[in-house]
């Protein structure tokens, strides 16, 4: 699946292309996609393909095409504080983007069949938390992953506000998937070769919308040949945050507000000078005039008296533009993590500072 948009040179250009093609349509989804570099979830030797609109698979590791993830994120209609269940959570790429939107009071769970993929996802999550500046720009709902077959979830599990299944669902499993939803919840899944959005409007009422044609590998059916018994998947409990953790969230939020106010005051209420764009040059063409006299045809070129002056001005403008483009480009300054700088400048014991920063390395 994929290939709907042009490849990008980097993550931001890929997102620009997805926006232009209307796969990304809302600001929250755009922010989440820009905050997490897709290449970080690739193995090193395959990173050259990270910004192509194509699915990628290596062994049990799999990533859907960016256009598919975009449609899924938009269809889920994510909001802070919701609960989310990712069936076939894979590398954790989608779960991490969802976590940026859910915020600290959401619930973010994933079920993955392969234990090696779970380990891979945990490594990528740890790398994101420890090294990405995007982590400090959001309040993150960290995903929790469990190993198992998503068709064997314990019947006494809690229901969720949002559910996504990343494998093809057959009609016989549609009701099973629906029962994972709270009333008012949204389920997005590939159902009979169509990416489908199902909204639970009542205890036994549903609205279904087909989004686009897709091709997904089907769900793997449970195998009970060994023991003859089902291996129930027990999802993580919904944890209650400690008072200490709530205090950290509140302090970080207050510091971010202070930074925002300081930035607004420095920039004059946030109004910056609008960017300057080069005026596009339109080359004027001399007009060819055809004159009919009796039965003969005469072709003549009629020049505008001002053409020569205009052409000289154009050539001079073009020459100046060429000189400007030849000038060495200044590299942009590296982004500044203002939250980190502000925390480190506080008159607090170092252990408390590092706790506020989640013990991040940079």
Catalytic residue numbers, as ranges:
64
Residue 89 has phi, psi (to 5 degrees) of -70, -15
As a whole number of angstroms, the distance between CA 185 and CA 223 comes to: 30
**Location of structure tokens 């993150």:** 140
What does the DSSP assignment read for 37-52?
-GGGGS-GGGGGGTTS
268: Cβ contacts below 8 Å, ≥ 6 apart: none
CA dihedral 78, 79, 80, 81 (to 10 degrees): -80
Tokens linked to 329: 């480009």
Task: Determine the longest span between alpha carbons in the chain, in angstroms.
Answer: 101
SS3 assignment, position 320: helix
CB atoms inside a 10 Å sphere around CB 127? 12
11: Cβ contacts below 8 Å, ≥ 6 apart: 33, 34, 37, 38, 39, 50, 51
Q: What H or E segment, with its residue span, contains residue 331?
A: none
Residue 290: strand pairing partners: 299
SS3 assignment, position 313: helix
Provide the 8-state DSSP code for 330: P
As a whole number of angstroms, the distance between CA 273 and CA 276 comes to: 9
SS3 assignment, position 312: helix
């Amino acid at each position: 699946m994929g290939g709907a948009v042009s490849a990008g040179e980097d993550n931001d250009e890929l997102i620009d292309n997805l926006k232009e093609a209307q796969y990304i349509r809302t600001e929250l989804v755009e922010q989440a996609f820009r905050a997490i570099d897709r290449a970080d979830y690739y193995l090193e030797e395959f990173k050259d393909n990270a910004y192509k609109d194509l699915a990628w698979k290596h062994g049990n590791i799999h990533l859907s095409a960016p256009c598919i993830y975009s449609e899924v994120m938009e269809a889920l209609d994510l909001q802070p504080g919701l609960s989310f269940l990712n069936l076939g959570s894979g590398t954790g790429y989608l779960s991490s983007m969802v976590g940026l939107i859910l915020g600290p009071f959401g619930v973010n769970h994933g079920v993955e069949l392969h234990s090696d993929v779970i380990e891979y996802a945990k490594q990528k999550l740890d790398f994101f938390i420890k090294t990405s500046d995007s982590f400090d720009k959001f309040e993150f709902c960290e995903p929790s992953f469990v190993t198992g077959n998503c068709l064997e979830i314990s019947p006494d599990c809690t229901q969720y506000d949002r559910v996504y299944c990343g494998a093809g669902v057959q009609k016989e499993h549609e009701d099973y998937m629906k029962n994972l939803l709270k009333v008012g919840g949204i389920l997005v899944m590939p159902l009979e070769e169509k990416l489908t959005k199902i909204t639970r409007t009542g205890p036994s009422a549903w609205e279904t919308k087909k989004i686009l044609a897709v091709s997904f590998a089907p769900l793997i059916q449970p195998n009970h040949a060994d023991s003859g018994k089902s291996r129930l998947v027990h999802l993580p409990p919904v944890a209650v945050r400690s008072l200490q953790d709530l205090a950290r969230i509140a302090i970080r939020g207050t510091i971010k507000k202070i930074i925002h106010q300081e930035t607004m005051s420095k920039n004059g209420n946030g109004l910056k000078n609008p960017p300057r764009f080069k005026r596009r040059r339109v080359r004027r063409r001399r007009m060819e005039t055809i004159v009919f006299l009796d039965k003969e045809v005469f072709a003549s070129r009629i020049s505008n008296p001002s053409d020569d002056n205009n052409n000289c001005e154009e050539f001079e403008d073009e020459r100046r533009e060429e000189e400007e483009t030849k000038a060495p480009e200044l590299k942009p300054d590296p982004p500044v993590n203002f939250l980190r700088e502000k925390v480190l400048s506080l008159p607090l014991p170092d252990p408390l500072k590092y706790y506020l920063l989640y013990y991040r390395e940079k």
